[in-house]
Amino acid sequence: MSKVITILVILCCLVGCIGKEEIDDLAMVMSFAIDKNEENNNLIITAQIARPGNVTGDTGGGGEGEPIWTATSEGETIFEAIRNLARFSSRRVFWAHNFIIVVSEKVAREDGLVDIIDFFNRNNELRMRTWVVISEKDARELVATKTGLEIVPGMSLDRLFRYSDIVSEAPRSDVMTLTSAYLGEHTHPYLAMVNIRDRGINTESPEEFGSIPQVELSGTAIFKDDKMVGKLTAEESRGFLWFIDKIESAIVPLSCPEQNDRRTSVELRENKFNISPYIENDTVKFEATVKTKPHLVELGCLTSKEHSEIVTILEEKVEAAIIQDIEIMLAKVQKEFKSDVLQLGRTFEGKYPGQWKEMESSWDDIYPNVEVKISVKSDIKNTLLLENPTRPAKD
């Protein structure tokens, strides 16, 4: 019997060989774009695929060819387009290492994202933390662009989002946040927007200053159900991020006290945001509270004042700037786009479930006119390394 058991155990171990994939047979997708062919309404997909043999590591090695291979194909559905890629790809397309899915604004506005959400949720290879973004231009252009410091551009895009919290100008949207917002009752999705701009500098011909196109964050795409209805600029997105993410850091440029032509900037740190619904005279209202402890990171002011006097003035300016950011954003999201991406309805339901049932069906009509009171408390305690503002001793 023990021999039989041994044989059975060995046989069981071989099960993993069924459907095995050799790494050499795989075309590992690093980034992926979805566009639309306007002539026949087909989807055009573009996959940026790594050539591991030509990716030079830190310790050297690797071939001399291009580290990536970018290919495109077309089909009526995403799956058909991907299968059509297999007509000329010498390897099987493998999604597990994909960093980012870029969807063109045209697809997001005209066709919607439900097909994309469904397909990538059903696909067992894709990571749920794969970034999903909207491209202002053709998505394939963006995927084909060599951007960032990394050898594989897809990896650069991944890190662009991974560390985007230091600029706080676009949300970090992935398959999971997109799915969750789309499936949720009375919640709508939002996605980061990206664009290509000439930002890189060619060191061999520096006279062509800023001639190399690079991918940059350019704001937030706002959806109603699965269709894009509008976008927030990078500046407007600063106000938006308070509501949907934890802001680790953000820069607020300000004018100097009593010197409007000179600039100073503070970095928002230790930020806390709270949104609380309340009912006043049978009307739904919200109170948004921001608490921040900014660092004074730059003071380009010619001033005889001490830090203690300056920060008092700057604190007021910071508070006004944050309130302005949020008000501009609210005006767009509530009045113009009429999409509850801020999840105000869900927040209200959480606190007032009884009242929510009464207004649930009419929430879409109520939402654009809901008042959101904003209060900001800024407390600058840290001037970093300097005891006094930078000024010559002769003053």
Of 12 and 393, nearer to another protein (C-beta) is 12
Q: Which stretch binds another protein (CB under 8 A): 1-9, 86-94, 303-311, 381-389?
A: 1-9
- 39 interacts with another protein by CB under 8 A: no
Tell me the closest approach of the beta carbon of residue 120 to another protein, in angstroms. Answer: 11
Q: Which stretch binds another protein (CB under 8 A): 64-72, 211-219, 350-358, 364-372?
A: 350-358
Q: Which stretch binds another protein (CB under 8 A): 75-83, 125-133, 235-243, 366-374?
A: 125-133
Q: Which of 40, 124, 260, 362 binds another protein (CB under 8 A)?
A: 124
Residues in contact with another protein, shown as a per-residue x/- string from 52 to 91 under the rule CB under 8 A: ----------------------------------------
Q: What is the 3-state secondary structure (H, E, C) of the chain?
A: CHHHHHHHHHHHHHHHHCCCCCHHHEEEEEEEEEEECCCCCCEEEEEEEECHHHCCECCECCCCCCCEEEEEEEECCHHHHHHHHCCCCCCEEECCCCCEEEEEHHHHHHCCCHHHHHHHHHCCCCCCCCEEEEECCCHHHHHHCCCCCCCCHHHHHHHHHHCHHHCCCCCCCEHHHHHHHHHCCCCCCEEEEEEEEEEECCCCCCCCCCCEEEEEEEEEEEEECCEEEEEECHHHHHHHHHHHCCCCCEEEEEEECCEEEEEEEEEECCCEEEEEEEEECCEEEEEEEEEECCEEEEECCCCCCCHHHHHHHHHHHHHHHHHHHHHHHHHHHHHHHCCCCCCHHHHHHHHCHHHHHHHHHHHHHHHHHCEEEEEEEECCCECCCCCCCCCCCCC
- 185 interacts with another protein by CB under 8 A: yes
- 353 interacts with another protein by CB under 8 A: yes
Tell me the closest approach of the beta carbon of residue 140 to another protein, in angstroms. Answer: 27
- Tell me, by CB under 8 A, how many residues bind another protein: 29
Of 145 and 177, nearer to another protein (C-beta) is 177
- 289 interacts with another protein by CB under 8 A: no
- 5 interacts with another protein by CB under 8 A: yes
Binding positions for another protein, rule: CB under 8 A: 1, 5, 8, 12, 15-16, 18-19, 96, 121, 124, 127-129, 162, 176, 179-180, 183-185, 343, 346-347, 349-351, 353, 356
